Amino acid sequence: MSANLSTLRPVHVIGAGWHPYQNASDTPFVTLGLTAIRAALADAGISWDAVDSTYVATTALGIGSGGAMLRYLGLTGKPIIHVENASASGSAAIRQACLEVAAGLNDVVLAIGVDKVAPLRPARNQAGIATLADHLIMPPTHFALLADRYIAQSGARPDAFAHVAVKNHGNAARNPMAQRQKVRTLDDVLGSRPIAGPLTALQCCPMGEGAAAVIIASENGAKGLQADFDRAIRVAASTTITESPQARTDADLVAHSVAQALDQAGRTPADIDVAEFHDAFSVEELVYLEASGIAPAGRAADMLAEGAFHIGGRCAVSPSGGLIGMGHPMGPTGIGQIAEIAFQLRGEVSGRQQPGARIGLASMVGIGPVGYAHILERP
């Protein structure tokens, strides 16, 4: 079998919306999710009863969260499927929605990510296998080790990563949906609390809650509903891989999943105008820019300093603020990436629009490990 989004019928983002990402609060997840879904339905110009099925990306809400939320849109009897793939849960929901529409099973499918703050409990730590120190390696430490390796290989200065955070906090400050809303200087970032290796608190994504929704549709489905198809954004590629002897690291997973997606879409890294990555920790953005081919090996820090990855540069990277600035509420994160890129490609973003953006990349990794890549294109 080799069917993919380039061989099946075309699929499109026809609507997207968020509940702002925010610090932990008393707001019920139902409010978070319904706010994002209603925003996406309004953006698409369709009603809830037009949605054929729903994928719910969540990691921390307990069982049956979809029905507990969607019932307040009206009981339609349509399928609900919950999806969990760690940080990439939302990306997985997007992919499943795309495949369901591309395969012709349904015309209009919703991907909704919603989460509240809860302790991270990686199942691998419950496998009953004693390790030397893996139980002491929290995510920031995992990526601090990556930072140390990157410095050794590229000769980058330890403050290279802090510049990523300055850019992403700056973008987030112009995004009303972002959890972090403050512009930060290099001194702010470097002077924040040390966490692990060169990573300080402002170079790490915040814990938070929120929701993001994206509606995927076929052209016929959208037009049958009199949806505003002129604003539709094509999902040209969707790929996912897991760990293998050839892909052992996060960078490997990004490299392989993005290369497959570019091949599927018939594009090259130079075609990407806007990109969102799993920049949960600042070092990741530089490493994944190189893994994806958007920056040559060892060049990402220099290109960042030259402005290549700022809004208005060669390729706007993390224009939403990324996971560092916009936030990383887990279930919503991968869906929010797709929503941000769709709005960027429509040219509808206020205050942080990448000029002339036509092609976008969303790349995600998650504990597992898993890798996802999606390429979106303005027709």
Partner 1 sequence: MLVAARCSVCETMMFPPQSYGCLSCGTAKDGLVEATIPATGILQATATVHMHPTHPVPFTVGRIRIAHDIMLNALLTDAAGQPRIGEQVSARLNNASSVSEDMTSRTIYFCADGGAP
Distance CA 100, CA 108 (A): 9
Query: Smallest gap, in angstroms, from Cβ of residue 224 to partner 1?
Result: 47
DSSP string for residues in 84-123: -BTBTHHHHHHHHHHHHHHTTS-SEEEEEEEE-------G
For partner 1, give the closer residue by CB, 123 or 132: 132
State how far the Cα of 173 lies from the Cα of 177, in Å rounded to an integer. Answer: 9
For residue 43, the minimal CB distance to partner 1 (Å) is 40
Interacting span for partner 1 (CB under 8 A) from 33-41, 141-149, 265-273, 316-324: 141-149
Q: Which segment (24-32, 80-88, 125-133, 266-274) binds partner 1 by CB under 8 A?
A: 125-133
Q: Is 138 in the site for partner 1 (CB under 8 A)?
A: yes
If one asks whether residue 146 binds partner 1 (CB under 8 A), the answer comes out as yes
Strands 316-317 and 80-83: unpaired
24 binds partner 1 (CB under 8 A): no
Alpha-carbon Rg for the chain, nearest whole angstrom, is 19
Rule CB under 8 A: is residue 145 a binding residue for partner 1?
yes
Torsion of CA 66, 69, 71, 74, to 10 degrees: -120
> Which among 5-13, 110-118, 142-150, 360-368 is the span making contact with partner 1, rule CB under 8 A?
142-150
Q: Which of residues 215-254 bind partner 1 (CB under 8 A)?
A: 245, 248
CB-nearer residue toward partner 1: 200 or 257: 200
* Alpha carbons 86 and 365: distance in angstroms, whole number: 9
Helices 282-291 and 139-154 cross at an angle (nearest 10°) of 50
CB of 161 to partner 1, least distance (A): 13
Q: How many residues bind partner 1 (CB under 8 A)?
A: 26
β-sheet bridge partners, residue 18: 212
- DSSP letter at 23 equals S
In this chain, which of 1, 63, 75, 130 binds partner 1, going by CB under 8 A?
130
The answer to whether 193 contacts partner 1 (rule: CB under 8 A) is yes
d(C-alpha 27, C-alpha 269), whole Å:
40
**Stretch of 146-154, 253-261, 297-305, 341-349 contacting partner 1, by CB under 8 A:** 146-154
The reply to whether 202 sits near partner 1 by the rule CB under 8 A is no
- Examine residue 121 and tell whether it contacts partner 1 (CB under 8 A): no
Q: For the range 350-357, what are the long-range contacts, defined as Cβ-Cβ under 8 Å and sequence gap of 24 or more?
A: 351/174, 352/171, 352/174, 352/175, 352/311, 352/319, 353/311, 354/273, 354/274, 354/311, 354/312, 354/316, 354/319, 355/312, 356/273, 357/273, 357/274, 357/316
Q: Does residue 123 belong to the site contacting partner 1 (CB under 8 A)? A: no
Cα separation values, 255 from 99, 207, 234, 259, Å: 22, 27, 22, 6
Please state the length of the chain: 379
Q: Which of 94, 195, 225, 317 binds partner 1 (CB under 8 A)?
A: 195
Pick from 15, 17, 113, 140: which binds partner 1 (CB under 8 A)?
A: 140
* 129 counts as binding partner 1 under rule CB under 8 A: yes
Q: Which is nearer to partner 1, 76 or 249 (CB)?
A: 249
Closest Cα to residue 142, out of 378, 365, 312? 365
Q: Which stretch binds partner 1 (CB under 8 A): 145-153, 216-224, 329-337, 359-367?
A: 145-153
What residues make contact with partner 1 under the rule CB under 8 A? Answer: 127, 129-134, 136-138, 140-141, 144-149, 152, 193-197, 245, 248
